[in-house]
Amino acid sequence: MNIAIIGSGEMGGCLAAMLIKLGHTVSVANSRGPAIEEVVENKEVIIVSIPQKNIPTLSKRFPKDAVVIDTGNYYPNLRDGNIPALDQSGIDSLWVQEQLGVPVVKVFNSILATSLKDKSTHKRIALAVSGDDAKAKEVVFKMVEDLGFDHFDIGTIAQSWKQQPGSVIYCRDINLEELKRRVDTMGNDMQAVITKRKADEVLMKNDYPAYLEYLQRGLQ
């Protein structure tokens, strides 16, 4: 496939290397680089991997026929600042979808780039996927499988809060059966996930290695 990745950070760079290895043609840019219209032109898949605060710079620039993937997470206290409309909805990728003006599929947000890159050192990991466009999700499911992971369909983009920071599946490197079990335990309590994210942000800011250790303990 012909793929564009917007975002040259750890996740964007990792995905670029892995997708090129699979034989895809990949162009990488950032939101302050070459004109976005040029980067995304004639692309089958566009992966957006930038901080949420930079999403408005991409607004309404994407072709309607491309599969658009959002890998981002909202961290207002660490990186993004408060975004009132996002705070009101509480659902990261729903806000991103509204900003971009095209359907998005949320995936690769709930795994660390190191786990993505070092998958050979882990047992098979499952990744959560959510979105409103069934055909777009089928493309993403295949991409996830080709990269060496199982996929689990969370549901619509309105359900994507279940894979946001603060959820019990966020960056846990768990298998498909365990991911399904944990999603079931969340029920409809989105506020609990948001509250946990806020607490986790404090830990991340004060002691990031301790936060990573906490995530690993959460595997049990």
Tell me which residue of 196, 164, 162 sits closest to 181, measured CA to CA: 162
Return the pLDDT at 47. 97
| Mean pLDDT confidence for 85-94 | 94
Q: Average pLDDT, stretch 205-210?
A: 88
Complete DSSP assignment for 100-134: HTS-EEE-SSSS-HHHHHTGGGSSPPEEEEEES-H
pLDDT class of 109 with cuts at 50, 70, 90: very high
d(C-alpha 32, C-alpha 34), whole Å:
7
Percentage of residues of the chain with pLDDT beyond 70: 95
Q: How confident is the model at residue 32 (pLDDT cuts 50, 70, 90)?
A: low
Confidence check: pLDDT of 35 > 60 = yes
Tokens standing for residue 121: 């050192």
pLDDT tens by residue, 57-84: 887 788 889 999 999 999 999 899 999 9
